[in-house]
């Protein structure tokens, strides 16, 4: 054992002092009985005090394994510098139709955008070789897919989003990141401009459709898609978190969430996990009614306000894009809302 660190020296001297004291006590017969407590002295290997004194480095981190995620195969998407917004879209390998329709609706940039933004699809490893090679081809054709080296399953969604955020924060560095799904509509005509007018850039921005307290119960039913064991997450309720349909993080907030992910054990519920990380980083979830969980009959004027709408079929994506473009000139007399709600 090398006594290099002050903590070890301190512990060693304490131990020595205790041994000396014991020796003194032994001299007196009747002190013997009192020494029975010594059985509880944490000298055994692995006991907390022993570990604290001589255990060396802290136990291995239980958080997300980022080096393995970043060692993903294939070429990463291109990423232009100076973007206001990077949109990360989770997508299953077989969702060709969803990706195709997004590329020609809200993901299309037919005219130069006043505020630079980009959409990237997050796709994992397909179960069969045929699908995997089609994904590689699709990435070659469009350059907009970040292929991960995790198996693409619902229970791996957390890994998918952590991979996307890490790539965004380290390789792309946009001012803001939006995480969304491929069955969602994103108002790309307004969101980049809305974010660009936030001045200064809020360092700790985490905004979306935040769940109420009643909807933050941790599901302990093992057959559920959202099952989380007590070992993985102890409390009965999640902290306030934004629905995975869409949430915006400023680059600084994303970096802090990622730093927390290195120490906090992941759970398969991706949006709740981001909420747990935000709480660990001291970032408050900003609730916003601009993120709609339901695709009701939104009117053209609503497209001057809404930023994300959930649950659209490919034909509905086409209709939503038309409404978004009409909203440029329609309803101009309605008040322009410049805040989150």
Ligand X SMILES: *[C@@H]1O[C@H](CO)[C@@H](O)[C@H](O)[C@H]1NC(C)=O
Determine, following the binding rule CB under 6 A, whether residue 151 of this chain makes contact with ligand X: yes
Interaction between residue 155 and ligand X (CB under 6 A): yes
Considering beta carbons, is residue 61 or 73 the nearer one to ligand X? 73
> Smaller CB distance to ligand X: residue 148 or 174?
148
Task: Count residues binding ligand X (CB under 6 A).
Answer: 5
Q: Which DSSP category does 163 fall into? A: H
| For ligand X, the closer CB: 192 or 266 | 266
Of the pair 7, 151, the CB lying nearest ligand X is at: 151
Does 150 contact ligand X by CB under 6 A? yes
Residue 98 tokens, joined: 């969803």
Taking the C-alpha atoms of residue 4 and residue 103, their distance in angstroms, rounded to an integer, is 59
Q: Please report how the helices 314-326 and 96-104 are oriented relative to each other, as an axis angle in degrees rounded to 10.
A: 10
Write down the least CB distance from residue 151 to ligand X, Å.
Answer: 4
- Of residues 97, 157, 156, 147, the one with CA closest to residue 121: 147
Query: Which residues are CB-contacts of 224 (< 8 A; sequence separation ≥ 6)?
Result: none
Reduced to 3 states, what is the DSSP secondary structure of residue 121? strand
Q: Which stretch binds ligand X (CB under 6 A): 17-25, 149-157, 217-225, 327-335?
A: 149-157
136: left (phi over 0), alpha (psi -120 to 50) or beta: alpha
Q: Which of 156, 180, 250, 317 binds ligand X (CB under 6 A)?
A: 156
- Does position 225 interact with ligand X (CB under 6 A)? The reply is no
Stretch that binds ligand X, among 87-95, 153-161, 172-180, 206-214 (CB under 6 A): 153-161
**Shortest spacing between CB 108 and ligand X, in angstroms:** 32
Integer Rg of the chain from CA = 26
CB of 69 to ligand X, least distance (A): 10
Least distance (Å) between residue 254 CB and ligand X: 22
Return the number of the residue (78 or 151) whose C-beta is nearest ligand X: 151
What is the closest distance, in whole angstroms, from the C-beta atom of residue 89 to ligand X in the complex? Answer: 20
Nearer to ligand X (CB atom), residue 126 or residue 312: 126
Q: What does the alpha-carbon distance between residue 331 and residue 40 come to, in Å, rounded to a whole number?
A: 76
Q: Which is nearer to ligand X, 156 or 187 (CB)?
A: 156
Q: How far is the CB of 119 from ligand X (least distance, A)?
A: 24
Q: Is 153 in the site for ligand X (CB under 6 A)?
A: yes
The span of 12-20, 148-156, 210-218, 291-299 binding ligand X (CB under 6 A) equals: 148-156
Task: Give the DSSP letter of residue 180.
Answer: E
Strand order across the beta sheet in which 242-250 lies: 145-151, 117-125, 85-90, 176-181, 242-250, 206-210, 286-287
Per DSSP, helices labelled H in the chain are 6-27, 48-54, 66-70, 96-104, 129-142, 157-167, 191-196, 251-261, 270-280, 314-326
Q: With respect to ligand X, which residue has the nearer C-beta, 160 or 290?
A: 160
- State the nearest-atom distance from the C-beta of 152 to ligand X, in Å: 8
Write the DSSP assignment of 96-114 as a string of letters: HHHHHHHHHTTT---S--S
Smallest gap from residue 148 Cβ to ligand X (A): 9
Question: Tokens 């299953």, residue?
Answer: 92
Residue 191, helix vs strand vs coil: helix
Closer by beta carbon to ligand X, 163 or else 290: 163
Footprint on this chain of ligand X (rule: CB under 6 A): 150-151, 153, 155-156
């Amino acid at each position: 054992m090398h006594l290099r660190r002050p903590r070890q020296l301190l512990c060693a001297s304490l131990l020595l002092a205790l041994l000396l004291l014991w020796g003194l006590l032994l001299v007196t017969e009747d002190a013997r009985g009192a020494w029975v407590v010594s059985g509880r002295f944490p000298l055994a290997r692995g006991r907390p005090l022993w570990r604290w004194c001589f255990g060396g480095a802290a136990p291995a981190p239980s958080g997300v394994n980022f080096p393995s995620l970043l060692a993903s195969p294939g070429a990463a998407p291109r990423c232009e510098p100076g973007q206001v917004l990077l949109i990360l879209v989770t997508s299953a390998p077989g969702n060709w139709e969803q990706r195709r329709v997004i590329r020609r609706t809200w993901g299309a940039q037919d005219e130069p955008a006043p505020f630079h933004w980009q959409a990237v699809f997050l796709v994992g490893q397909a179960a069969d070789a045929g699908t995997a090679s089609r994904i590689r081809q699709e990435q070659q054709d469009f350059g907009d897919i970040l292929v991960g080296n995790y198996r693409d399953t619902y229970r791996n969604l957390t890994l998918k989003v952590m991979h996307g955020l890490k790539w965004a924060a380290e390789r792309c560095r946009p001012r803001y990141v939006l995480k969304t799904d491929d069955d969602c509509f994103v108002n790309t005509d307004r969101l980049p401009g809305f974010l660009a007018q936030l001045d200064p850039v809020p360092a700790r921005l985490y905004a979306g459709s935040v769940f109420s307290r009643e909807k933050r119960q941790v599901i302990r039913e093992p057959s559920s898609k959202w099952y989380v064991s007590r070992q993985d997450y102890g409390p009965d309720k999640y902290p306030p978190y934004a629905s995975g349909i869409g949430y915006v993080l400023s680059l600084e907030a994303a970096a802090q969430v990622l730093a927390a992910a290195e120490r906090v054990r992941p759970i398969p519920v991706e949006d709740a996990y981001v909420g747990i990380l935000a709480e660990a980083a001291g970032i408050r979830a900003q609730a916003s009614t601009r993120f709609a969980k339901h695709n009701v009959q939104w009117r053209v004027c609503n497209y001057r306000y809404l930023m994300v709408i959930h649950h659209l079929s490919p034909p509905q994506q086409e209709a939503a894009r038309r409404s978004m473009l009409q909203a440029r000139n329609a309803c101009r007399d309605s008040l322009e809302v410049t805040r989150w709600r």
